[in-house]
Structure 1
Amino acid sequence: MKLSEEGLRRFFGPLEAQIMEIVWSRGEVMIKEVQSLLGEELSFNTVMTVLNRLSEKGHLKKNTIGKGRNRISTFHPVQSKEEFIQEQTRIVTTELVHEYGEIVLNHLFDAVQQADPSLRELLEARIDEWKRDKP
């Protein structure tokens, strides 16, 4: 995770983030389609390499039909954008709490106080729910 970046660039490189947005919006894509949608002068091989790397990292599923010059590969996301963000934020939060516990909770509380009041209400509701369900 790159803390200095914003949005999906925290988790992906700039081109990877653009490609993931395309795949999430389309559902399933071919390399040539992604290349044309990027609107940049990127080679087919560059786009293919990034798609293959995203597949190797487990973010995309690759389906190939045919052989040789008649081979066509399509890619589709393994999880929705929302599922990806849920999973990544859960992982980051869990790791920070396990490693830095009290410090993270104090900073989280401070951040919630400075944020939208609805976040504070959500936090209070979750704490109340936790207290009710606690054995």
Structure 2
Amino acid sequence: MAKKAPSRRNDVDAGAYAATILPLPASEGGGYMASAVELPGCVATGETEAETLEELRDAIRSWVKTAREFGDEVPPPASKHRYSGKFVVRVPTSLHRSLALRAGAEGVSLNQLVSTLLSGSVAASLNTRRKRKAA
């Protein structure tokens, strides 16, 4: 079966976007969480890695569609911009300790916790910006 020619405005090569995938702790139901590196707040979950990545591709298409509807910029896939996914942030020792204790209490790594917190913060910021634009 031949693929339909994509519309330039509505088609998105969701697979071109870089993804990170992390296992979720059993205390949160297990499974996996994936995020699109270039698209703030674009996350998905699933029972298996394959299911999670398929859900993420759907989330990417929805993210891009919504961004376009609001007139927001759509970042290009990482294939055009390369990021390692690593950066160093200096924080006060008290914050480092608090984050490490929380990660331990939640049964996740410090990296997983910080990644989740940053993703949530970026998503909330993006939603606030969209609400302001819509008003």
Structure with the greater alpha carbon radius of gyration: 1
Is the pair's TM-score, using the shorter chain for normalization, greater than 0.5?
no
TM-score by length of 2: 0.24
TM-score by length of 1: 0.24
Q: Which has the higher helix share?
A: 1
Greater RCO, 1 or 2 (C-alpha within 8 Å, sep 6+):
2
